[in-house]
Chain A
Amino acid sequence: MRLALTLSTGCALLATGCFMEHSMPPDPPITAIEVDAVISGATLGDDCPESGVDGDIDSGACPADAPCPSFCQQSNVQLAITTSEGGGVVTWQVMRVTLHDSETGEELQELAPRDPRVWSESDGYGEWDELLPAPSELSTSYDLQAPDWNDLQSRSSDFWSRSYQIQMLVEVGGVERTLVSSAVYRVSDIDT
Chain B
Amino acid sequence: MKSNRFYLIMLGLVILSYLATAFIDNQYPFYAGFAILQLMVMALAWNILGGYAGYVNFGSAAFFGLGAYGAIVSYQLFAAPLIIQILVGGCVCALLGLATGYLTLRLRGVYFAIATLALLVVAETLIHNWDYVGGAAGAYILPSRTLEFLGVLIVGKEGGLFSNNKELLFFLLCNLALLTIIICRIIENSKYGRGLAALRDNEEAAESMGVPTLKLKLIATVISASIMGINGGFFPYFMTFIEPTSAFSLDISVNALAMSLIGGTATWLGPVLGAIILGTLQQIATVTISSEINLLIVGLFLVGFVIFAPDGFLGLIKKLGKRGD
Asked if A and B are interacting partners, one says no
Chain B residues packing against A (C-beta within 8 Å): none
